[in-house]
A and B are shown apart, each in its own frame.
Chain A
């Protein structure tokens, strides 16, 4: 399978000689895209006994924003620690400081599935239940895919062939990546997917819902060589009268439909540094610096505005804490359980006095931390993420995966933050992004 992908890569890229490549959009959670990343999914449905925050399940919503059907190849990453008991697992998920003491070990396991979505169709599923085509036996409460082979659209389109896996464990914590593919399962450059996650916690008759948007990684689409902000399908789209002036030719990006997805990055074309990563033409004597991405690159830096842990919410007086979830942008789904790649993450923390502190941790496959534990403190009051140390209510933290000289694996990150009020509710928020980097990230599909 991978060898075939390699042949396709060769042939398609070879056909692109003379073409240019440019990124025309950014990774964003407010635009439809070709790859959706849901950094945090969580379930804990048992009520015997319930977990510390009640019974938990996650609802995923995805919609196709185009007027053409689309398919997704999704990868569910199970990052649930392996623990000797459910109680130990819950304690480990709640606080990573308790994982070792409770005999838990980390793990990453990938499961993949396909979903077919008709034009402009919204779909949803519960992570605890998965989903498939609706049948008379489908429980009324469980979301399912309504356009079945027996009940298709008038044009014959349906959700036939879709089978969304349920989480393999309960409790479960992990991430989901979904990639736009064609009917044959090959990645396609279609920025037509949007999604949201809602994590709901229920204790008795009290519920708490938090939601965040899926992070979208757009595919690089065809554009005019003279103005990369102009989309095109052929050369005439770049010429008057379609454009006010001559905008060159329509450049086809290098999405070859193969199983290695290249996210951003630049390399030297020709010259003495041919093939090396570059930031600008100055890095490529006698050559030029070209974009290599089939998809837009992941952000160089993540930015999180947050309350310092332990501070009291100025409205309710309740103590506020924040959890941060980070996942790698690069992932090798073929070898994930055997050789997950570690990324060192640097954190810069500013308080409202503009005072700067920094710390670091390592992310392997998936990380979810109460932020006060990031610096290795054993108590919240000694953490640089605590109000007790920083003195002010809020802070700004900049998060950067450290790049190393590995041409096969980028080290950028994506993530989401959750804010908890003691005896109150939670709220999730998407992180901000800053910049890009010259190294590519890679998604290796099975």
Chain B
């Protein structure tokens, strides 16, 4: 088919479609939104935020947060850091070394379409005389313009060893939660050697943005129906029912993880380890109570063989090295290099979960490089989740 005839054919086909569809009598469509990593939302969740010093086996890491206002009006947000590091971060969390789940909150405000950023270890200070940080310029060359731009508010630094989450909730100028859906964000985890991994913040969209069904109180209702704590029903979309991750089969202290076929192609060998970070959807910042759940994992290998395991999510934050969770994730057990894992709360009454995955690809005799991906979500939690903000004084 030549160029002209192809174009004519296409046009004819499209016209046909239009004419036939024109015979329909139809209803107005409505679009339902879900928790998203690609659209502006009213609640941003950054499940993995780390700021850790160097140790004998690990480089120091820090996290750069980027948030933008995607609307043409001012946007305000109330943000919460939750530190999931235990008091002795050199030891694994345990009953005697429980994660602190310490929350610190702060406010940010963004002018129309304004992007902003900060490094979590340093936060961002506000100049009392307006924007005064030196701007980037080529004359003379100056490219360390970390503080240039309108300050989004005073953002505190995190503690010296921080492994936890950041949640930002859109509010109005009085501080009341609203369904604006004006915020988007990204987190970049950077190690001192310049390696970086990046993921999109998870956005929980407010419902009925036009009519703002949000009652503006301190109890935010994520999905679900009318309950005593949510007398008007859902104000935001529900957390997903199931999270899905494709990953390399893991390793543990008894056996190596799956190798990276690309690195193997060009270097002498490799191993990939996977960390899944999970945070609860239900959180009560007023009473410092965080949702708990038994998280089930259904694992499918490349032979479509199914295995399962579970762990309790009893703290505010869990960073799971899959190989350490259970040997069922290991290549020695699964027998294949790749797997698909589906994660969900065992009971609808328990908290929903959100998360992100990070892979660590190690070269034999070489470096380790990191790579983050957003998880896939499936379905909505029918009973919903609740976020409770601290009340006024």
Task: Of the listed stretches B163-171, B312-320, B332-340, B384-392, name the one at the interface; the rest are far from the partner chain.
Answer: B332-340
- Choose, from A53-61, A83-91, A98-106, the stretch at the interface: A53-61
Say yes or no: B192 contacts A334, CB within 8 Å.
Answer: no
Tell me the bound Cα distance from A198 to B361 in angstroms: 11
Check A427–B196 contact: CB distance below 8 A: yes
* B194 engages A269 (CB within 8 Å): no
Once A205-B367, A419-B198 are accepted as A-B contacts, the answer to whether A332 and B304 lie under 8 Å apart by CB is no
Q: Are A303 and B184 in contact (CB under 8 A)?
A: yes
Number of A-B pairs, beta carbon distance below 8 Å: 411
Determine whether the beta carbon of A17 is less than 8 Å from that of B32: no
Looking at A73-81, A160-168, A175-183, A388-396, the stretch in contact with chain B turns out to be: A388-396
| Interchain CA distance A311-B336 in the complex, whole Å | 43
Contacts of B296 in A (CB 8 A): none
Assess whether B214 is interfacial by the CB under 8 Å rule.
no
Question: Nearest Cβ in chain B — how far from A326, in angstroms?
Answer: 15
The residues in A between 363 and 412 inclusive whose CB is less than 8 angstroms from any CB of B are: 381, 386-388, 390-396, 398, 407-409
Interface of B (DSSP majority class): mixed
- A119 and B7 CA atoms in complex are apart in Å by 39
* Given A269-B22, A391-B135; 12 other pairs, CB 8 A cutoff: A25-B31, A28-B37, A121-B300, A124-B338, A126-B261, A200-B361, A207-B260, A209-B361, A211-B359, A319-B143, A339-B7, A352-B115
B209 interface residue, CB < 8 Å from A? no
Are A121 and B302 CB-contacts (below 8 A) given A209-B359, A391-B137? yes
Contacts of A25 in B (CB 8 A): 31-32, 34
Among B86-94, B97-105, B262-270, which stretch is in contact with chain A? B262-270
The interface stretch among B63-71, B284-292, B345-353 is B63-71
User: What B residues does A59 contact at CB under 8 A?
Assistant: 260-262
Which one of B172-180, B215-223, B321-329, B375-383 is at the interface? B375-383
A-B contacts, 25 listed (Cβ < 8 Å):
A28-B36, A31-B378, A54-B266, A55-B265, A62-B246, A119-B304, A120-B300, A146-B303, A200-B263, A207-B366, A209-B260, A211-B359, A275-B22, A289-B28, A292-B17, A339-B6, A350-B115, A352-B150, A353-B150, A388-B138, A394-B66, A394-B116, A408-B13, A424-B193, A427-B372
Are A17 and B135 CB-contacts (below 8 A) given A30-B375, A334-B6, A430-B200?
no
Cα of A210 to Cα of B200 in the assembled complex, Å: 14
* Residue B252 CB within 8 A of the other chain: no
A146-B303, A393-B145, A423-B194 known; A30+B38 contact, CB < 8 A: yes
Q: Is the CB of B149 within 8 A of A13?
A: no
Give the one of B62, B115, B340 with max A CB within 10 A: B115
Q: How many residues of A contact B (CB 8 A)?
A: 143
User: Do the beta carbons of A269 and B25 come within 8 Å of each other?
Assistant: yes
- Residue among A6, A30, A32 with the highest chain B CB neighbour number at 10 A: A30
Judging by beta carbons under 8 Å apart, are A310 and B21 in contact? Answer: no
Of B7, B198, B376, the residue contacting A429 (CB under 8 A) is B198
A316: chain B residues at CB < 8 Å are: 190, 192-194
| CB of B154 within 8 Å of the partner chain | no
Nearest-neighbor residue (CB-CB) of B302 within chain A: A146
Q: Smallest distance from the beta carbon of B135 to chain A beta carbons, Å?
A: 4
Identify A427's interface contact among B21, B197, B301, CB under 8 A.
B197
B125 at the interface (CB under 8 A from A): no
Q: Choose among A47, A206, A268, A354 the residue that contacts B112 (Cβ–Cβ < 8 A).
A: A354
Cβ of B148 and Cβ of A391 under 8 Å apart? yes
Which of A107-115, A232-240, A431-439 lies at the binding interface? A431-439
With both chains docked as a complex, state the minimum distance between the C-beta of B220 and any C-beta of chain A, in angstroms: 21
**A172 on interface, CB distance cutoff 8 Å:** no
* B42 CB-CB contact with A under 8 Å: no
Closest residue of chain A to B377 (Cβ to Cβ) is A30
- Total residues of chain B contacting the partner, CB 8 A: 115
Q: Tell me, in angstroms, the Cα distance from A334 to B9 when the chains sit together.
A: 12
Whether A305 contacts B371 by the Cβ 8 Å rule is: no
Contact B190 A291 (CB under 8 A): no
What are the residues of chain B within 8 A of A132 when measuring CB–CB? Answer: none
In Å, the complex CA distance between A97 and B18 comes to 42
Closest to B61 in A: A315
B364 touches A205 (CB 8 A): yes
Asked whether, in the complex, the Cβ of B366 is within 8 Å of the Cβ of A315, the reply is no
Interface 1/0 per residue, B23-46 and A, CB below 8 Å: 111111111111011111000000
- Answer yes or no: B282 CB below 8 A from chain A CBs: no
Chain B residues with Cβ below 8 Å from A10 are 16, 20
A205 to chain B, nearest CB (A): 3
CB contact list, A125-178 vs B, under 8 A? 126, 128, 141-143, 146-147, 153, 157
In the complex, A153 Cα to B15 Cα: how many Å? 46
Ranked nearest first, the 10 interchain pairs of A and B with the lowest CB-CB distance are A424-B194, A352-B149, A205-B366, A22-B29, A20-B26, A391-B135, A387-B136, A425-B195, A388-B138, A275-B18
The reply to whether B17 and A262 contact each other, CB–CB distance below 8 Å, is yes
Contacts of B283 in A (CB 8 A): none
Interface centre among B22, B117, B260, B265 (most CB of A within 10 A): B22
- Contact A30 B304, CB 8 Å, known A352-B150, A353-B131: no
When the two chains form their complex, are residues A120 and B10 in contact, meaning their CB atoms are under 8 A apart?
no
Beyond A209-B359, A314-B119, whether A430 also contacts B114 by CB under 8 A is no
Task: Report B-chain residues with C-beta under 8 Å of the C-beta of A392.
Answer: 135-136, 145, 148-149
B157 to chain A, nearest CB (A): 13
In the bound complex, do residue B26 and residue A269 qualify as a contact, i.e. CB atoms below 8 Å apart?
Answer: yes
- Say yes or no: A429-B369 contact (C-beta < 8 A), given A20-B24, A356-B113, A444-B10: no
- The reply to whether A352 and B19 contact each other, CB–CB distance below 8 Å, is no
Q: Which residues of A from 22 to 52 have beta carbons under 8 Å from B?
A: 22-32, 45, 47
Cα of A294 to Cα of B15 in the assembled complex, Å: 16
| B31-A354 in contact (CB<8A) | no
**Other-chain residue from A213, A315, A422, A427 in contact with B192 (beta carbon distance below 8 A):** A315
Most buried by B among A281, A395, A398, A442: A395
Task: Say whether A30 contacts B148, CB under 8 Å.
Answer: no
Within the assembled complex, what's the spacing in Å between the Cα atoms of A29 and B376? Answer: 8
Which B74-129 residues have a C-beta within 8 angstroms of A?
A: 111-117, 119, 122
Q: How far is the CA of A390 from the CA of B193 in the complex (A)?
A: 27
| B256 within 8 Å of A (CB atoms) | no
Counting chain A CB atoms within 10 Å of each CB, which of B30, B262, B366, B371 scores highest?
A: B262
Of chain A, the residue at the smallest CB distance from B225 is A244
